[in-house]
Amino acid sequence: MNFTDNLLQWYNKNRRDLPWRNTTDPYIIWLSEIILQQTRVDQGMPYFYRFAEAYPTVTAFAAATEDEILKLWQGLGYYSRGRNMLKTARIVQEKFNGNFPHRYDDLIALKGIGEYTAAAISSFAANQAKAVVDGNVSRVIARYLGISEPINSTAGKKLFQQLANELLNQQLPAMHNQAMMEFGALQCRPKNPDCGICPVKAGCYAYQNNQVNQLPVKLKTVKIKNRYFNYFLISSNDEVLLNKRGDNDIWANMYDLPMIETNELWSPEQLFSSPDIVSLFGIIPQIIEIYPVQKHILTHQHIHARFYHICLEQNKFKLKSTFFFAEVKNLNSFALPKIIFLFLNKFFKF
């Protein structure tokens, strides 16, 4: 038996019963695919149910506000996915009359849908013969065929796409694609792959040449950046001062607290005697409490956050236009980054 026959046999025996596999509705498949970008199935699953229930159709999705989408997305990360989904939903509503496209060429033109997602939706929803290439697929191919080209180089991406196209079962593209990814996720894992019971080990280059732990090859990742966020908690009369973030940086368009970013860890004395704090509030605030520095670990940056509970004398301070007072009882309606949510939730118990 060849590779793909073995693969499909393995898949039929070992596949998980995942909710988005029981439909050919391109909208539902789109929902699942975007949620699962760079996200483990276990982590994304509750969000999939949440979105499918809140927005059963793309028409319902298109009618939502960005605040609502980001709020529902809270905690999942890579929030541009949610923002792009809303743009795409609105285009689908207008240009396609609410009928989510299922052709690769239509899909690839939409925001947030790249090569992988266009191939996934078009094959799963309409059995279009487009091969998906995600982290799982490139790992399986790199090991099975013994490809040492980095999977994330430009040449590598092109090569793995081409090899995936050649391997694709033209009669069963949807099942083939699902099987490749499931095989990578469950059997041909990044670490500790289960080679002992692998159905294709006889033909696997990496297994036969003892290269399983060396493949796939990946270009080195960028250096982690340290950032220092000094946050200010200002509350009065069951209200708290929030800040709506801009659309350039991390957590775009989400809500946090007034803050000053410094290029290194600043002491409270340093911070509260700096011109920055005067220009932020117009006055020097009174410190009520200083919290210990918290480290918030993200993939590409480590955020060192220190929260200050402060007091501003009535009517003497000025506020940036992105600042506003929110009622504490409404705090749970704002899309908050994880670290802000945890702090405010601990403080206010909302």
Evaluate whether 28 touches 53 at the Cβ level (below 8 Å).
no
Q: What residues pair up with 244 in beta bridges, in sequence order?
A: 255
Give the x/- contact pattern for DNA in 140-159, rule: CB under 7 A.
Answer: -------------xxx----
Closer residue to DNA in complex, CB, 135/203? 135
State which residue, 150 or 199, has the beta carbon closest to DNA: 150
Binding status of residue 206 toward DNA by CB under 7 A: no
Q: Write down the least CB distance from residue 192 to DNA, Å.
A: 6
Which span sits near DNA by CB under 7 A: 90-98, 106-114, 200-208, 236-244?
106-114
Cβ proximity to DNA, 99 vs 213, nearer residue:
213
- Cβ closest to DNA, residue 118 vs residue 277: 118
Contacting DNA within 7-36 (CB under 7 A): 18, 20-21, 32-33, 36
Q: Is 201 in the site for DNA (CB under 7 A)?
A: no
Smallest gap from Cβ 216 to DNA, in A, equals: 7
Which residue blocks in the chain are alpha helix, DSSP H?
A: 3-14, 26-35, 41-54, 58-62, 66-73, 80-95, 104-107, 115-126, 135-145, 154-167, 173-186, 205-208, 268-272, 275-281, 338-348
Show Cβ contacts of residue 151 under 8 Å, excluding neighbours closer than 6 positions. 135, 138, 139, 142, 157, 160, 216, 217, 218
> Is residue 95 involved in binding DNA (CB under 7 A)?
no
- Helix, strand, coil percentages (3-state) for the chain, rounded to 5, are 45, 15, 40
243 binds DNA (CB under 7 A): no
Residue 221 binds DNA (CB under 7 A): yes
Amino acid at position 127, single letter: N
Which residue carries 């080990």 as its tokens?
201
Among 176, 177, 200, CA closest to 188: 200
CB 300 within 8 A of CB 289: no
Stretch that binds DNA, among 2-10, 95-103, 220-228, 235-243 (CB under 7 A): 220-228
Distance CA 293, CA 281 (A): 22
Contact call for residue 249 and DNA (CB under 7 A) = yes
Q: Give the interface segment with DNA, choosing from 167-175, 183-191, 282-290, 325-333 (CB under 7 A).
A: 183-191
Asked if 304 is part of the footprint of DNA (rule: CB under 7 A), the reply reads: no
Question: Is residue 225 at the binding interface for DNA, with CB under 7 A as the rule?
Answer: yes
How far does the chain reach from its first CA to its final CA, in angstroms?
Answer: 59
CA 242 to chain centre: 24
Q: How many residues make contact with DNA (CB under 7 A)?
A: 64
- Active-site residue 149, yes or no? no
Q: What phi and psi, each to the nearest 5 degrees, are found at residue 327?
A: -70, 140
- As annotated, the active-site residues are 33
Which residues are at the interface with DNA (CB under 7 A)? 18, 20-21, 32-33, 36-43, 75-80, 84, 110-118, 120, 134-136, 139, 153-155, 178, 181-182, 184-185, 190-192, 218-219, 221-222, 225, 248-252, 296-301, 337-339
